[in-house]
């Protein structure tokens, strides 16, 4: 009887464990992952702006230099900063 039960158990198929499927990031997750690491700056207009790129010094007319923050929220490429 034990041999019959053992043969029956050994004849059953063994399930194989599949690796979990990778979950693709949703568009909102991709945007938030891409936009990490920003900083708040005080714009020349008196408003606070949140930018992700570096601060650069850009030449203006008459030899004047202006500090600008780059890649800011709201599709602004450069925002002049208040010193």
First and final C-alpha spacing in the chain = 90
Nearest by Cα to 82 from 39, 35, 42 = 42
Is 67:80 a contact under the CB 8 Å cutoff? yes
| Residue 33 falls inside a structural domain | no
Residues recorded for the chain: 83
| Residue 17 falls inside a structural domain | no
> Confidence class of residue 79 from pLDDT cuts 50, 70 and 90?
very high
Domain count, the chain: 1
Q: Centre a 10 Å sphere on the Cβ of residue 21 and count the other Cβ atoms it contains.
A: 6
| Residue 5 falls inside a structural domain | no
pLDDT (tens digit per residue) in 1-57: 777 776 766 777 777 777 767 766 666 555 555 556 899 999 999 999 999 999 999
What is the separation of C-alpha 55 from the centre of its chain, rounded to a whole number of angstroms?
20
pLDDT of residue 16: 74
């Amino acid at each position: 009887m034990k041999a019959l039960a053992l043969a029956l158990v050994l004849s059953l198929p063994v399930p194989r464990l599949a690796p979990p499927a990778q979950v693709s990031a949703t568009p909102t997750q991709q945007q938030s992952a891409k936009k990490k690491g920003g900083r708040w700056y005080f714009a020349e207009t008196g408003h606070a702006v949140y930018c992700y790129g570096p601060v650069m010094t850009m030449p203006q007319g008459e030899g004047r230099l202006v500090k600008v923050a780059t890649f800011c929220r709201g599709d602004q490429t450069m925002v002049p900063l208040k010193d």
